[in-house]
Structure 1
């Protein structure tokens, strides 16, 4: 094995990889994080910043439970990061809305929330609000909105400050963070552990390896015997000028960032690795936002961008141990911000196989084989 060995090497320096590293460092492990280049496809630099429970896991109870635990852990997690790094994350968990202009879509989502309520019991609460009541609460809401759902547990955070704080925390706790580190091959080393080869031909040795590389995971996952293949889902965003007033609500598609601008999103498209913006989608985003809040028609859009979500075959997280290569792990999800507190805590026990490790069997990749067989 090459000389520069570490306990654990994490491939991927986004929110998921950094949170995993943070938890291991707090458990006393020696950790190296291998990050890519600025030009890579980075979900952590283009996400919406939601800390969201509403609707999560309506069809999969383990995911509903995991998300509820994560949302509840966010206040202490944000406080810890601020203590370690001095960076505030502008966390706000005062509740969030889902707005609907189609009554059928509202009824379908309300049914999802009832299923989620059945899973979580008194650990979850939600309201279904008709359009007239909604406009009495918030007169700014447009007349075409037929109703909304509300969950008091939902919130949002500044995602770029989160990313910065995680990088600073990993370094502050003694982690080794290597940038522009493109891993092209990973294999078991003759003397134990793993041998990683970089694009420039240099090598890195490690006792164990955790793949958290987002859309860069698949080729390396195959080398370690994992079957999960992630795929990109494109989401597009609009950013408005900074406003002199605060929006009276937060939704999963319209949020006001702490600097004052409005962020508008919510699109989903299977477009492969193409993260370019599309004019028709941008126009649709603007129309939908104005239908929810007509006053936004007079607000200027100053930026627009597209980013790629990291999706598993069923859309839920994957936490997997390699059966062929003990010591290799796969961690991937598209809710990295919401799940961040758990990735920075309980995953360390799972990776170390401690007696108090969480039961993550429901998230193993064997569920895809079972589904295919069925």
Structure 2
């Protein structure tokens, strides 16, 4: 029988909601996890699967490092390795000017105590990625980074959470959230659930919930696009990313190559759908053509896009509400939240259970948008 009361209600069953539910259950809390579609339907199931600490905003790095420690033992946590491989990620510089900017960043990170990013010259770049164009002078590597399979990972976190007693309700839309004394009432077509704590992990729809509770933030729904090719002879193991020209590039063990990087289609969140922008996909294909000559005979077999939430500053809203006791926000991961999911769930569960965390999250709190 479905619960009508719980210790915490979590809205949204992407990898963040599922991870938070799992970690709350591990702390002995009763949890109701609500999802209007199915777990991993949007951002968590359709992203590129990058598991990277590389090239993150300084405000995100502590959470990213915390999450990477969980990725390294993810099979012990959720009884599935989630397809996680750790072959490194490389941020490639296409010009000497880019390389100089990256060097300045790495030096700054060293001064802050972060050592996961390492400068590499052209020789080391081509040792790690032999097929890359000779014109690239070097880059930055994070050797412990890698990739996983997004839908598989989300389902693994979901299954483990359910096995620990989480009451997951898929296909159930939240129609309202209101405070009632010292508790929250979460309304659904199937009835209300009452809880002292609520976590807003509703992805591209989370901004509406925050606004309805008096905490509007600058968030928009976006549709990052991805392509995958037919099989190509194995030629690269690390994930390669570009910043000047948008690209994320990963070859799987079966030879297929995933091409992403941030080019956007069109998102229609009210209709639960996306549309591809074929001209921008062609730009991605051209970038691959120029950077990896070995790919010039490859065939694109499929392209897709998912709906994600992007904040105006590209940083997530993460932490307690600035206005309401018992309300927590966990959304707006701006197309780079997959790697953060395991760690964010653990930290959010800690916040829900204890009200505090030792992981620095001050730069991610919703208060930054209050004027």
Shorter chain as denominator, the TM-score bin is 0.7 to 0.9
User: Could you tell me how far apart the structure 1 residues matched to 2:308 and 2:251 are?
Assistant: 21
Structure-2 residue corresponding to 1:129: 121
- Structure 1 residue 349 corresponds to structure 2 residue 350: yes
Structure-2 residue corresponding to 1:17: 17
TM-score by length of 1: 0.86
SS of the equivalent of 1:251 reads: strand
SS of the equivalent of 1:88 reads: coil
Structure-2 residue corresponding to 1:338: 339
Structure-2 residue corresponding to 1:240: 229
> Any stretches of 5+ residues in structure 1 without a counterpart?
none
SS of the equivalent of 1:303 reads: strand
Aligned positions of 1:181-192 closer than 5 A: 181-189=172-180, 192=182
Q: Deviation string for 1:275-300 (max 9, x for gaps)?
A: 31112111111111122211111111
User: Could you tell me how far apart the structure 2 residues matched to 1:184 and 1:136 are?
Assistant: 54
User: Could you tell me how far apart the structure 2 residues matched to 1:113 and 1:106 are?
Assistant: 11
Structure-2 residue corresponding to 1:98: 91
Structure-2 residue corresponding to 1:266: 261
Change in Cα spacing, 1:139 to 1:24, as seen in structure 2 (3 Å) is closer
CA contact (8 A) 1:65 1:120 kept: no
Question: What is the RMSD of the two structures over their aligned residues, measured on CA atoms?
Answer: 2.6
- Size of the aligned set, in residue pairs, is 358
Structure-2 residue corresponding to 1:157: 148
TM-score by length of 2: 0.87
Change in Cα spacing, 1:41 to 1:215, as seen in structure 2 (3 Å) is farther
User: Could you tell me how far apart the structure 1 residues matched to 2:361 and 2:43 are?
Assistant: 24
User: Could you tell me how far apart the structure 1 residues matched to 2:26 and 2:298 are?
Assistant: 45
Aligned positions of 1:1-374 closer than 5 A: 4-37=4-37, 42-57=42-57, 60=58, 62-82=59-79, 87-121=80-114, 123-130=115-122, 134-135=125-126, 138-189=129-180, 192-198=182-188, 200=189, 202-245=191-234, 247-252=236-241, 253-269=248-264, 273=268, 275-334=274-333, 335-353=336-354, 358-369=359-370, 373=371
CA contact (8 A) 2:237 2:250 kept: no
> Any stretches of 5+ residues in structure 2 without a counterpart?
242-247
TM superposition shift of 1:14: 0.4
